[in-house]
Each structure stands twice: as C-alpha cells, then as structure tokens.
Amino acid sequence: MVRLKMKWHKQDKSHSLEEEAGVIAYNIWKVAMDAILNLENADYQTDSNKQRLELVADNLIFMIHLADRMTIEYFDEDERTRFIGELSNKCGKHLVDNYHDLYGTGNYKQEFIDLLNSRVAEYAEFDFSDDDGPGFAMKRYYGEYITGIMGEKHNKWVTSQMIDIEVPAMYRHLKRIMKNIIE
C-alpha cells in the first residue's frame, strides 16, 4: 500500500498553485510506481529498469490527464493551464531524474513531453465522469499501452488487470490527493 502526503503541515497557510502541483506530482509519482509494483506482485513480468520507467511514464501521463479532467471543478481556465503545466513539468522531472540516474544524459525531457502531448490528445476523446473517473474505453486504451510495454509472460491479461484493478486504485488515490491538497 502506497503512503501518500494527504495534508499540509501548516494548514492555516495558503499555498500557491505551483506548491499544490508539486505535492500532487510527488504523490502521482508514488502511485505510478506502486502500480508497477502491484503488477510485479501479481506475477506480471517486467524485464528491465528501462521497461519499468516506460511504464512509469505512461502511468504518469494517464494520471496527469485524469488530474486535468478533475481540475475543472477547482480552477478557472488560466489557473488550470498553469496547474497542469506545473504538474506535468514536476512529474516529468521525477521521471527524467531517474533516467539520468540509470542511463546518464539523454533527451528524456523532450521524449516525455512528446509522449505526454500525444497521449493526452488521444485520451481527450474518451468519456470521464467525476464520480466514476475514466470510462471503460479510456481504461482499455490505456491498458493496451501498458500491455504493449510489458514482457511476454501473462501479456494477454495485463489490460484486464489495468481496467479492473489498477486504474480504479489510481483514480481513487488521485481523487483523495486532489481533494485533500487543493481544497
């Protein structure tokens, strides 16, 4: 079970959008990593750190998109744009730092941005509700990306695992994080 930062230490102090985005990005990173650990604990095969980071990238992007859909109730359009930009940058920084630690220099930031822009445009076509989160078609689409990254062992069941178990857990965590940090 992932431990998340769910409240501010100084609750009487107001926090900027950038501070909120930073805390939420940190928690999204933890949830993204936990989803991979859950897959591995369910006996799904990952073969390398590179593969794990690719999975983390897709998990981050999916949750950034969900956060974007959820922020409609919290922010006006300008604030929402600033918040999602900051959230994306901070999530990307966590990912890029890990790539640098494992593989040295590279164009990891631009690769993440390109993947983020591509995926978010695709996810925007699918249904989403505040109560239920992403619709079945979005979960399946995302699950197919994860399946494409996973190893050969049990590959045909990964999409079902994502639809039935991981996405609902990710959305539950994100909903709690957003509510507790932004409100």
User: Domain residues of the chain, as ranges?
Assistant: 17-182
Q: What is the pLDDT of residue 16?
A: 84
**pLDDT confidence bin for 142, thresholds 50/70/90:** very high
Q: Structure pTM?
A: 0.92
Q: Is the pLDDT of residue 156 over 90?
A: no
Q: Is the pLDDT of residue 92 over 80?
A: yes
Weakest-pLDDT range from 1-5, 51-55, 167-171: 1-5
Burial label, 133 (beta-carbon count in 10 A; 0-12, 13-18, 19+): buried
Average pLDDT estimate for 35-40: 92
Q: What is the pLDDT of residue 17?
A: 86
Determine contact, residues 17/83, Cβ cutoff 8 Å.
yes
Q: What is the pLDDT of residue 96?
A: 96
Q: Is the pLDDT of residue 9 over 60?
A: no
Residues facing residue 77 across a β-bridge: none
Q: Is the pLDDT of residue 95 over 70?
A: yes
Average pLDDT estimate for 17-40: 93
- Report residue 155 CA to chain centroid gap: 21
Determine contact, residues 36/49, Cβ cutoff 8 Å.
no
Determine contact, residues 151/127, Cβ cutoff 8 Å.
no
